[in-house]
Amino acid sequence: MASTLTRRRAGIALAAVFATIPSLGAQALADPAIDKVRDYLNRITTLRARFMQVGPDGDLAQGVVYVERPLRMRFEYEQPAGLLLVSNGDVLKVYDPDIRKVTEIPLDETPVSLLLGETIDFDGAIEVLELKRGEGVLEVTVADRLAPGTGTLTVVFTEQPFELRQWYVVDAQGSTTRVTLLETQYGLAIDQSLFDIETTRTPQVDR
């Protein structure tokens, strides 16, 4: 079993050979695919999906993810991982059942927070680093323009139909966590208590 630190890093946080489009910055923003990605992400109000995750050490985990933009997210990990990640604002809370404690991490220190903003705008705080196309697949890699040292986020779309299927995070240490979405549902009403970790767990909070 992976160490607690490795599992926690994996939680904070998906086969084609891709041809890289040599377009960064203004050139990448001029590609119509960027507008398509931006519009798709901005249309997401709520999301529920099953997920499969591959952590930096190759460990496989799965569970259910809930997203409500802006800034609300919940990852429920099935056993044996058993982790619970909840964000309902500026802080990501991670419950680790092995130590029965919650650790709080500033949400803006995790690249996945780039998906949770009220408005996703690639001209602003989110910088497009790379655009790739493969057979029926599109990848866009972004970073926080104001905090580039926090890592990168790559979102992966199928093109027919155009749908978010995967993302992967490369953190500040260069470790990669890949998340694949399955059975995704959009626009559902989500019970707001799911974004309050204390209603699910009542451990000591480690700040």
Model confidence pLDDT, tens digit, residues 172-203: 889 999 999 999 999 999 999 999 998 765 44
CB 59 within 8 A of CB 11: no
What's the CATH code, domain 4-14+16-206? 2.50.20.10
Q: Which residues pair with 96 in a beta bridge?
A: 101
CB 34 within 8 A of CB 131: yes
Provide the residue ranges of all domains of the chain, joining segments of one domain with +. Answer: 4-14+16-206
Q: Percent helix, strand and coil across the chain, each rounded to 5? A: 20, 45, 35
196 contacts: CB under 8 Å, gap ≥ 6: 86, 88
Model confidence pLDDT, tens digit, residues 141-154: 999 888 877 889 99
Model confidence pLDDT, tens digit, residues 12-69: 443 222 333 333 555 566 788 999 999 999 999 999 999 999 999 999 999 999 999 9
Q: Rounded to 5 degrees, what are φ and ψ at 150?
A: -80, -10
